[in-house]
Structure 1
């Protein structure tokens, strides 16, 4: 199985906690885990506005080394538009970045790893796992 890590999980990885997330990552082989370029953007932005930009950027680089960013392609963009429309019709919403991340996971057949199961659970057909739960 292949996974797409959400931004919140990457922050936990960069902080080296909790242990179960790191152990789960160590059990996987290179190529089984990616992040979205949207996640890379969110991490980089957060690093640049932090009190320690250089240190935080080094953490972002570490994350992208073991979980290479996947570019957005046309199928992910189309999936994002469908997701947004379906959720709007149901009176539900999720953030724009989360819509793109969900669409990328869905269109690529990846399982999204997130602690934000409630929000991403609104996306029909999206496989979601929370590695923070014991």
Structure 2
């Protein structure tokens, strides 16, 4: 059985309980679904940016902005901990470099996710089929 690896857009859909995605998750089972450390990094970067932005908000709105940003970070951490988190290992890094040498032109994070997925024999679940389909040997699906 394949391991399914949610990329960032599908993780966001999971966060918002998107019905079509949730039906697929329930049918497959959480034990077959993972995310990568790259996706965790992207989630964290977004919330850390919001926290930095809150410190620059007008004083009258700063408490509200901080509450929203730190609350979002907390909920994001709780959500990602529901999944197995796959590492960007040395092997994944070497595969990533090989893809770059081959001239595959997709975002760094997407190419890192692709390298991890190939290393573990997983299927990337993404809306971004156009980019991920450029990676030789990578299996992709869109559940949205």
Q: Given the two structures, how large is their TM-score scaled by the length of structure 1? A: 0.86
Structure with greater helix percent = 2
Q: Matches of 1:26 and 1:106 in 2, distance apart?
A: 24
Q: Paired residue for 1:37?
A: 37
In the alignment, structure 2 segments of 5+ residues that lack a partner are: 51-64
Within the alignment, does 1:54 sit opposite 2:70 as a pair?
Answer: yes
Structure 1 SS opposite 2:93: helix
Aligned partner of 2:132 among 116, 120, 125: 120
Q: Matches of 2:84 and 2:74 in 1, distance apart?
A: 15
Question: Offset of 1:23 from its aligned partner?
Answer: 1.2
Structure 2 SS opposite 1:27: helix
Question: Offset of 1:32 from its aligned partner?
Answer: 1.0
Structure 1 segments, 4+ long, off by >6 Å, are none
RMSD: 1.5
Structure 2 SS opposite 1:4: strand
Q: Paired residue for 1:68?
A: 84
Q: Paired residue for 1:78?
A: 94
Q: Given the two structures, how large is their TM-score scaled by the length of structure 2? A: 0.81
In the alignment, structure 1 segments of 5+ residues that lack a partner are: none
Question: Offset of 1:29 from its aligned partner?
Answer: 2.8
Structure 1 SS opposite 2:14: helix
